[in-house]
Structure formats: C-alpha cells, structure tokens
Structure 1
C-alpha cells in the first residue's frame, strides 16, 4: 500500500516556458571571464577548506568552471610533488632515523 504522504517520483514537473535549451547554461558558464588570480585564489581557499558563502556565490557567478578544474588539477599535482620532495628531503637528511 503506497504512502500518500510521499511524493510520486514518476511525475516530473512540466518544463517552464522560459527554460533555456539544453547546453546553454554550460555555454554561459564557460564564457565567463574570471581572472587567473581570482581562480587561483578560489582554488587555494577550497584546498584550505574555508570560504565565506558570499565569496563562494560570487565565484560561482564569475569564474569559468573549466579554468577552476584546470587550476585545481595543477594545484593538486603541485601539492603531491611538494609532499614527495619534502619526504625525499627528510629521508635524505637522516632526520627520520
């Protein structure tokens, strides 16, 4: 016996008349012209894990998501390489013995 209080997942709401065609949102997002510094700063704050919701909302509006992904991947690679260099330096210096 179905519960009458649960929403029926089979019915989708009708599309609104002002809905944009599929893919337009992505084209609009990729066309954003955020600076490299703004993108790097947003990625650095996300690595640190602290961000004001107002700053996050501004980043979502002005940063190109493709740039955010590229800078995030580069930052991740640099982070891993930095950790590897630190471990090699500690092991080579004999401090770890």
Structure 2
C-alpha cells in the first residue's frame, strides 16, 4: 500500500498538478528515500520509452 502511495505521489509530481494540502500530507507520511528511488525508476522508464519511440520512428 505504501509503495502505491509513493508511486502516485511521484506520478502527480511528474505531471505538476498537485494540491499543496496533498503535498504536505504526503511529505509527513512517505519516506523520502522511497520517493527518490521511485522517481529514479520513473525517470529511467520515461527516458527508455523516449529512446524506444525515437528508434521506432527512425
């Protein structure tokens, strides 16, 4: 359950649409190291998807 909440918080942060109250609630509830780890994985997946898309188009 905590992993899902962390993934959701990172996904909302990537989109840039987040209420301040929700941010503050997550800040007190989630572990910063887990957020960093999930964010790094998400960035790697995003970059990998972009590279795959460019290779497919070219």
Same fold flag (TM > 0.5): yes
Instruction: Give the TM-score normalised by structure 2.
Output: 0.96
The CA distance in 1 between the partners of 2:26 and 2:56, in whole Å, is 37
1:56 matched to 2:10? The reply is: no
Count matched residues. 58
1:75 matched to 2:42? The reply is: yes
Unaligned runs of 5+ in 1: 1-33, 92-97
Instruction: Give the TM-score normalised by structure 1.
Output: 0.58
The CA distance in 2 between the partners of 1:48 and 1:83, in whole Å, is 16
Larger RCO: 1 or 2 (CA < 8 Å, sep 6+):
2
4+ aligned runs moved over 6 Å, structure 1: none
Q: Which has the higher helix share?
A: 2
